């Protein structure tokens, strides 16, 4: 497997449910805050707001993208509000930190959340200071993954050459376009046999540790 990644000079990591385990349930908190925000700003009851949250995520890539397109919602207050989550239970992961540090090349985080959210979460995980850059949805002009334009904007901003990069991502939808662009794709989560998934793992630390001699 080392040979399959020998050309990689840029390592791109998603954040939520990728750099921390799904059992930390941070997105459970975010979902509640998003539903509350939709309720308050669109004057909806809880069931309707929760339904829209899920439908927009499925139809537009993120709830925010749907809210912007359908309701012309201002993204910045939304991003600030929905990421005010409790991180006190999140534990440092020294093994993951070591595995990421041993990778040769540029290491970046790219999330559909905000950069501030990425900075807070990686710090809580003990992963601060090991990434060369962090990008949020704001750096893609609020265009979300899995849209091609989102990847193109962030990769251009960072100078990523897709054909010498690898992407680690828990949402399989977000791997198809990067695969087309030439990235090596790794699904961090349960097995999915779609052709644009090169590799799959439920243990990112172990997977990364096998990429270096």
pLDDT one digit per residue (tens) for the chain, 213 residues: 899 999 999 999 999 999 999 999 999 999 999 999 999 999 999 999 999 999 999 999 999 999 999 999 999 999 999 999 999 999 999 999 999 999 999 999 999 999 999 999 999 999 999 999 999 999 999 999 999 999 999 999 999 999 999 999 999 999 999 999 999 999 999 999 999 999 999 999 999 999 987
Provide the β-strand partners of residue 11: 107, 166
Collapsing DSSP to helix, strand or coil, 134 comes out as strand
Q: Give every CB contact of residue 77 below 8 A, 6+ residues apart in sequence.
A: none
| Domain residue spans of the chain | 3-20+91-209, 26-82
Residue that has been written with the tokens 């040769």 in this structure: 104
3-state secondary structure of 108: strand
Bond before 105 cis per omega within 30 degrees = no
- What is the model's pLDDT at position 200? 98
CA–CA separation, 18 and 169 (whole Å): 6
Q: What is the pLDDT of residue 177?
A: 98
Three-state DSSP class for residue 12:
strand
Lookup: tokens for 103: 């990778």
CA 138, CA 47: separation in Å to the nearest integer?
A: 28
As a CATH number, domain 26-82 is: 1.10.150.450
H-assigned helices in 90-175: 94-101, 115-124, 148-158
Residues 199, 45 contacting (CB under 8 angstroms): no
pLDDT at 212: 84
At residue 58's C-alpha, the angle toward residues 52 and 59, to 5°, is 85
Please name the CATH architecture into which domain 3-20+91-209 falls. Answer: 3-Layer(aba) Sandwich (3.40)
Of residues 171, 205, 152, the one with CA closest to residue 14: 171
């Amino acid at each position: 497997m080392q040979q399959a990644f020998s050309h990689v000079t840029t390592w791109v990591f998603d954040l939520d449910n990728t750099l921390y385990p799904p059992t930390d349930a941070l997105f459970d908190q975010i979902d509640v805050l998003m539903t509350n925000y939709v309720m308050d700003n669109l004057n909806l009851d809880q069931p309707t707001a929760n339904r829209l949250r899920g439908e927009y995520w499925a139809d537009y890539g993120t709830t925010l993208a749907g809210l912007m397109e359908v309701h012309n919602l201002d993204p910045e207050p939304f991003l600030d509000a929905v990421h005010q989550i409790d991180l006190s239970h999140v534990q440092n992961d020294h093994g993951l930190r070591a595995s990421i540090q041993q990778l040769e090349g540029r290491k970046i985080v790219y999330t559909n959340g905000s950069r501030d959210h990425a900075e807070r979460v990686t710090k809580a995980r003990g992963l601060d200071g090991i990434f060369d850059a962090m990008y949020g949805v704001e750096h893609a002009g609020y265009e979300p993954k899995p849209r091609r334009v989102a990847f193109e904007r962030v990769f251009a901003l960072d100078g990523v050459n897709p054909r010498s990069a690898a992407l680690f991502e828990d949402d399989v939808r977000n791997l198809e376009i990067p695969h087309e662009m030439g990235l090596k794709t790794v699904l961090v989560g349960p097995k999915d046999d779609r052709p644009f998934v090169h590799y799959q793992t439920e243990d990112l630390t172990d997977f990364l540790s096998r990429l270096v001699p």
